[in-house]
Amino acid sequence: MDELEKFRKEAEFRRFSPRTIETYENCLRKFFGWARKDYRKITKKDIREFLEYVQGRGVAGGTIHIYLNSLKFFFEQVMRRNMIIDIRYSKRPNRLPEFLTKEEVKKLLYSIENHKHKVMISLLYSAGLRVSELVNLNVGDFNFLGKYGFVRQGKGRKDRIFVISEKLERILFQLTLGKNKEDYIFTSNFGDKYSTRTIAEIIKKASELAKINKKVHPHTLRHSFATHLIQNGASLNEVQAMLGHKSPETSMIYVHMASPNMINIKSPLDNL
């Protein structure tokens, strides 16, 4: 489809991440497959009916927003259609995301025998990184004197700081020796950058060996990191900054995931 090629060129020009481009393109293909119309004949009513159709299939609010954002970008920014799409859907998840307990994190890391793999997964958890952020870390992103690192151009094209765990500081520093600042800190035996799929496979295998009865993927460790921060007494603002969330409402979910006694909340009944 010529219009999808125009979309891709515009998205690349605006420096969308490859993952976002792929996601948006899949959304557009599904929409046009459903609508069976030329894009010039699409109306706002068509878009609303499609989103209602998707919602009726039990899709989460956040996913519906991705569909909506892809359609808004395509029609308003790529095709320059004078069609303001202001449909709103709640992004609140239907259920709380799953996270690991601290003991489960220990078991997971203990199950990884490969040293470099263990360091990567430990950093993923200890800094609350997204898997795409982990594999793109360069040597120059680390400030070992200050004990912090930088996520460059993370989600939303934003930079943010992450804390370097004291347990990992010396090991990570050793991995930088002999490398240039622009080199990836983690590379395979062939010198290539790790893929996000490889990281996911490492975590899946480790969770099976650790006999963790949960679906564990890279983002599970980010959920676990945030929940454990709250349990350790971190404020909502601190968690928001560490995760790089745009609003505190996004980080609020981790307060709900932490047990009340760990965040110093008492039932009002106890004060009667």
- Out of 24, 39, 125, 254, the active site residue is 254
- Out of 6, 179, 217, 219, the active site residue is 219
- Is position 115 annotated as part of the catalytic site? no
- Out of 117, 118, 223, 245, the active site residue is 245
- Out of 117, 118, 130, 160, the active site residue is 130
- Is position 130 annotated as part of the catalytic site? yes
- Out of 117, 118, 160, 222, the active site residue is 222
- Out of 81, 155, 179, 204, the active site residue is 155
- Is position 110 annotated as part of the catalytic site? no
- Is position 24 annotated as part of the catalytic site? no
H helix intervals, the chain? 2-13, 18-35, 44-56, 61-72, 102-110, 115-127, 131-135, 166-176, 196-209, 218-231, 236-243, 248-251, 253-257
Contact (CB, 8 A) for 21 and 4: no
Residue 201 zone, left/alpha/beta (φ > 0; ψ -120 to 50; rest): alpha
- Is position 219 annotated as part of the catalytic site? yes
Round to whole Å and give the CA distance between 95 and 106.
25
- Is position 53 annotated as part of the catalytic site? no
Round to whole Å and give the CA distance between 253 and 256.
5
Positions annotated as catalytic residues are 130, 155, 219, 222, 245, 254
